Amino acid sequence: MALEQKLENLEGNLKVAYKQAVPGTLLHADQLNQARMTDATLRNKWYYTPDGEVYSVDDGVETWRVTREASNPVLNHIDEAFPQLLSTGNYKVSETDFAAVKAAADTLTVKIADLMLQGDNSEYGFIQVRTKDGLVWTGKKDWRGREVYESANATQNAVINRFGFTQEYLGLLHDRKKNEIRDIEVIRIFALKPDYVKEAAKDGPMGRASWLYYFYSSSIFYADGHSISNDGRLRGVRREVIAEGDALKNKVPCAPQEVRLATMDEIRKYSAPFVPELLRAQYEAGLNSLGKVYKL
């Protein structure tokens, strides 16, 4: 039975919203940003995203890994992760899940120090990108007090593109006639700082949640989230909830139940009363021939 891929806003906190979704249908940050290019209704709302944010210390190097939904340890263990993030700010990622994160071909791995995060907060910082030209703020100002921008380095560029802040998208943000809201001069991507990760992840990897902000004076992606009890939304296909006894109306395909084929001996025993004795040898020879083809 085919699944109708109708994307909806699944409302609620991260746990409530995620449990409404068909796994594998949620839009990641880059996909949401791409959708915002043509759908203006997505620009005035903020969204939780299924991008996984995993921080660790690898051989003394503070590291950030960005996953897709399938490898996201927070979503894969949402009942366990939800209270941990709210109470401690971090979700302790198991070694098994961390191995899956590292093994996934679509995981982006970056050395946090190379991001040159800005901001005075000791826990998190940001990359600031100018929308008119895609240049990154160096954290410095010139003699006139104007921010100094330069080309993104390879690590910054990988993160900027991973979350869908392409040149085309930056152009949309910068042009109020296109985005139908206002001129947006910068985007910011928030992540945890190396010194914080060094201490918080000293006993093992940890996970955070993420969300994409609505269009305002800036466009922001947060990869350092733990305040996930706020009512927001995910963008994906809704998991249909059906009443007991009404299972035939379910439009979400379910995994098939186990199917067992009859053995050759069972077929012979069942068919014995219906096959004349004179034809039995020929009949069983035919069964044996089928058995070889179908590996019964």
User: 151 and 207 in one domain?
Assistant: yes
Comparison of pLDDT for 178 and 90, the residue scoring more: 90
User: 169 and 229 in one domain?
Assistant: yes
In this prediction, residue 283 carries a pLDDT of 61
Determine what percent of the chain is predicted with pLDDT higher than 70: 80
Encoded tokens for 195: 């010194």
In this prediction, residue 259 carries a pLDDT of 45
User: 187 and 285 in one domain?
Assistant: no
For residue 108, pLDDT beyond 50: yes
Task: State which of 157-171, 213-227, 276-290 shows the largest mean pLDDT.
Answer: 157-171
User: 272 and 230 in one domain?
Assistant: no
Question: Lowest-confidence range among 29-43, 118-132, 158-172, 272-286?
Answer: 272-286
Comparison of pLDDT for 218 and 46, the residue scoring more: 46
**247 in a structural domain:** no
For residue 84, pLDDT beyond 50: yes
For residue 290, pLDDT beyond 60: no
In this prediction, residue 260 carries a pLDDT of 54
Report the C-alpha gap between 256 and 3 in whole angstroms: 15
**254 in a structural domain:** no
User: 272 and 224 in one domain?
Assistant: no
Mean pLDDT score, 209-218? 90
Which residues are within 8 A (CB) of 212 and not within 5 positions of it... i.e. 6 or more apart? Answer: 29, 32, 33, 46, 47, 49, 163, 220, 221, 222
Question: Lowest-confidence range among 91-95, 136-140, 168-172, 255-259?
Answer: 255-259
User: 286 and 230 in one domain?
Assistant: no
pLDDT band at 22 (very low <50, low <70, confident <90, very high): very high
Computed over its alpha carbons, how large is the radius of gyration of the chain? Answer: 27
Residue 249 phi/psi, 5-degree rounding, is -90, -5
For residue 200, pLDDT beyond 90: yes
In this prediction, residue 217 carries a pLDDT of 79
pLDDT band at 3 (very low <50, low <70, confident <90, very high): very low
In this prediction, residue 250 carries a pLDDT of 44
Mean pLDDT score, 268-273? 64
CB-CB contact of 127 with 160 (8 Å): yes
Report CA-CA distances (Å) from 89 to 148, 230, 237. Answer: 33, 14, 29
**210 in a structural domain:** yes
**54 in a structural domain:** yes
User: 278 and 182 in one domain?
Assistant: no
Query: pTM above 0.85?
Result: no
Q: pLDDT tens digits for 126-173?
A: 999 999 999 999 999 999 999 999 999 999 999 999 999 999 999 999
User: 11 and 128 in one domain?
Assistant: yes
In this prediction, residue 256 carries a pLDDT of 43
Average pLDDT, the chain: 87
Task: Give CA torsion, residues 169, 171, 173, 174, to 10 deg.
Answer: 160
**How many whole angstroms from its chain centre is CA 245?**
33
Domain count, the chain: 2
Domain of 44 in residue numbering reads as 7-237
